[in-house]
Chain A
Amino acid sequence: MTKSSFSSIQSEYLALIDHTKCVRCKRCIQNCGWGTYSFGGDKIIADHFKCVACGRCYTYCPEGAISIVKNPTVIRENYNWQEYHIRNIWKQSETGGIVISGMGTTFKYKKYFDHILLDACQVTNPSIDPLREPMELKTYLGKKPSKIELDFNEEGEPVLKTKMPPQIELQTPFVFGAMSYGSISLNAQKAVALAARALGIVMNTGEGGLHDDLIPFGKNIIVQVASGRFGVHRDYLNSGIAVEIKIGQGAKPGIGGHLPGEKIGMDISRTRMIPIGTDAISPAPHHDIYSIEDLRQLIFAIKEATNYEKPVSVKVAAVHNIAAIVSGIVRAGADIVYIDGYTGGTGAAPNIIKDHVGIPIELALAQVDERLRDEGIRNEASIIAAGSIRSSADAVKAITLGADAVAIGTAALIVMGCHVCGRCNTGNCSWGITTQRPELVRRLDPEVYGERLYNLISAWSHEIQEVLGAMGVNSIESLRGSRERLRGIELTDAELRVLGIKHAGL
């Protein structure tokens, strides 16, 4: 069918310029990655259709002359036929395409973290003052032996006889989630790498290979292997602290990835080791993994290639039978299991998947922890929880539900200026994060945002120490899976049962 140039879709936002304040410096024209602004002879004019409310223009307008408002021209309110549905129908009738967007779902599902309350000490078992007392946040990710044996040296001091499997040492129980070079810019990756090194934690390459500039950060990097095997080779596997096999992602369980050819420039081509301009397709399944046994085969292929010196992580999306799935993954030999909830972010995913597939990380985590304990294999692997950890409170609750550490993705991008406009897929990110356009990437200073990332995680770590003190424990280890310290509020019996916690008041 020929495409009609007429579109029935109204602009979502209006970019309003106060011309009495505007000094025509044209900074907005320069800053907007979407081409919303242009100079109309004597004043700035805005093409509202291009605005995605990414917030770059008003942040950088020196006169405060710009406001972005929701288009007040209403689509008549109807709880059944919401604006979201109506817009999608129009868009799809005009293009015939699958609607895709970036970031996590925008749907208003129940947020379980907001219905969980933490315990604190009063009178007996007194709280601890974290300002004076040491509070241990150090976390080791990897397989732990089910028992340890000690020897004694000549001075009679105990020495560990058991050979420990390889571990990742984290100074605080955070990791940066997988975001590939391609989905985000190299400057954004560098900011994350600088912060990871300064914090003594790790970042993750995602399935985009390891850029030369990041090789010196190897001790703070988990390298990823996914179905497209982009940039994966022997030296790559050995250049990080651990290797992660990506099976699924919370924002898009069950489907693959796809970096469009127009984003594959020279540098990304080199890092992913694919030709310039070719679509980088990561198929939905690994074509050699159709069973737990096949997964085991890849885990040990990687262990063989890295001489059993690196922990191997397996990343999966939280889906309906997650407890059984994770049990299988642990039995397949994974040292770490990374579970990504349905509110997790992405560079691009079909809305149908993002908004309707998967389950909340809180529920998945509780069930996985319980299942692994019941089976007596909880020590066999560490668990990383992910899927929009928005605050240190979310992190503490996740750890108390059974996670060893939590992953930060979207929050890290928000540090760099992201306003969660969800248009990462277009490659026009005005903040220089999810774009490869050199003039946009250049504006993201890795040093500046590396420091801000450091600040955020430091602040969150201090907050966790405060909470530990209030709960009367001096180590994050004491809190792991300690669900007795959690209570639910405004939750049904079924929800409490899945979470394995009591209702507040009990």
Chain B
Amino acid sequence: MITIDAKGMYYRDLNRLIREGIAKGVKKFFLENVNGQYYIGDGIKGDDIVINVNGVPGNDLGAFMDGPTIIVNDNAQDNVGNTMNAGKILIKGDAGDVVGYGMRGGRIYILGNAGYRVGIHMKGYNEQLPVIIIGGKVGSFFAEYMAGGVIILLGLNDTGDTGSDYFAVGMHGGVIYLRKKIDFSKYSKEVELYEADDNDMAFLKKYLSEYADSFNISIEDIMGGSFYKIVPSSARPYAHLYTSA
């Protein structure tokens, strides 16, 4: 276990210290006074590594990450979990734009809201099932080009419309679960809405229990009421557009 005071530290130095620590076998990192440093946890590997971040980490937190856990006790900025392969990122505040771009595995749990383009081009593969859970609401282009995996949008403490413009445009794989129905005119034409069935609820319970435990909130508060699910109408949304010369 090591503690690094990141106050005024250049991101390259901070990340080099983390990489060197991992190479020496350190499993637990406590980063104090983090203030916008980019690329924390970028490209690191190892299921038993835990990085605890105090302060606001900069862009590309956990990019290309393959196994470790990052706990952020504050807000996070853009590109959290960019092309992440495995591991877990917990954010106890809000996240910025482009959460989980091209993410292929692992979990990103956000207690608060997230910005634009959440879950863009997220994709599942074999046993790898990426899961993003957002406690609050999201910005436009949510799940654009989503190709796999699961996003759960809870809209807790949100009295307005949880959804956003260009919701799930180009979605051609994966599942979105909603705790509240949103205005259907905002959905892309490529998706369909169903009420969650028993199988869905069992799946939700498993992941939402972990989510609730992570943030010390009650599962009953989240799970009450019905859920809705959005799935793509086709795995090939644009196939009809082309003709060969």
Contacts and interface: CB of A to CB of B under 8 A. Distances in A.
B235 A277 contact: yes
A235 B239 CA distance: 32
Contacts of B144: 283, 287
A98 B239 contact: no
Given A234-B65, A305-B63, A306-B43, A287 B245 contact: no
Given A300-B38, A301-B64, A425-B244, A233 B85 contact: yes
Contacts of A229: 83, 101-102, 104, 121
Interface string B134-145: 000000010011
B79 interface: yes
Contacts of A238: 43
Given A274-B125, A297-B79, A234 B172 contact: no
B43 A304 contact: yes
A40 interface: no
Interface centre among A275, A306, A425 (most CB of B within 10 A): A275
B82 interface: yes
Contacts of B244: 99-101, 423, 425-426
A258 interface: yes
A99 B245 CA distance: 5
Nearest to A226: B102
Interface in A213-230: 225, 227-229
Nearest to B101: A288
Interface in A173-199: none
A232 interface: yes
A422 interface: yes
Contact of B147 (A97, A233, A274, A426): A274
A232 to B, nearest CB: 5
- Could you say which interface size class chain B belongs to? 35 or more
A229 B98 CA distance: 14
A503 B135 CA distance: 68
Contacts of B42: 301, 304-305
Contacts of A274: 123, 125, 147-148
B123 to A, nearest CB: 5
A446 to B, nearest CB: 27
Contact of A305 (B64, B173, B242): B64
A97 B63 contact: no
Contacts of B82: 288, 301
Contacts of B237: 279
Contacts of B245: 88, 91, 99-101, 351, 422-423
Nearest to B141: A287
A88 B60 CA distance: 45
B170 interface: yes
Interface string A83-109: 000001001100111111100000000
A228 B172 contact: no
B14 to A, nearest CB: 11
Contacts of B79: 288, 297, 301
Contacts, number: 145
A281 B123 CA distance: 11
Contacts of A234: 43-45, 64-66, 85
Interface string A308-335: 0000000000000000000000000000
Given A229-B83, A232-B83, A278-B173, A237 B43 contact: yes
A500 interface: no
The residue in B43, B125, B237, B241 that gathers the most chain A C-beta atoms within 10 A of its C-beta is: B43
A200 interface: no
Interface in A250-289: 258, 260-261, 269, 273-275, 277-279, 281, 283, 287-288
A291 interface: no
B208 to A, nearest CB: 25
Interface residues of A, number: 48
A307 interface: yes
B236 interface: yes
Contacts of A306: 43
B81 to A, nearest CB: 12
Contacts of B242: 97-100, 350
A275 B64 contact: no
Interface string B142-172: 0011011000000000000000000000101
Q: Which of B78, B125, B238 has the most CB of A within 10 A?
A: B125
A461 B237 CA distance: 46
B79 to A, nearest CB: 6
A288 B236 CA distance: 24
A205 to B, nearest CB: 15
B199 interface: no
Nearest to B241: A98
Given A234-B66, A274-B148, A304 B236 contact: no
Contacts of B45: 234
B239 to A, nearest CB: 6
A250 to B, nearest CB: 18
Contacts of B243: 91-92, 95-100
A287 B239 contact: no
B83 A281 contact: no
A238 B43 CA distance: 10
Interface string B7-28: 0000010010001000000000
A233 B104 contact: yes
Given A229-B121, A283-B145, A288 B241 contact: no
Interface string B63-102: 1111000000000001100110100000000000010011
A97 B240 contact: yes
30 contacts: A99-B245, A100-B243, A229-B121, A233-B104, A234-B65, A261-B236, A274-B123, A274-B147, A275-B147, A278-B172, A279-B172, A279-B238, A281-B238, A283-B121, A287-B101, A288-B78, A288-B82, A288-B117, A297-B38, A300-B38, A300-B39, A301-B39, A302-B64, A304-B12, A304-B15, A304-B63, A307-B19, A350-B242, A423-B244, A423-B245
Q: Ordered nearest first, which 8 A-B pairs have the shortest CB separation?
A: A305-B43, A97-B243, A229-B102, A101-B245, A95-B243, A304-B42, A273-B125, A233-B85
Interface of B: 12, 15, 19, 38-39, 42-45, 59-60, 63-66, 78-79, 82-83, 85, 98, 101-102, 104, 117, 120-121, 123-125, 128, 141, 144-145, 147-148, 170, 172-173, 235-245
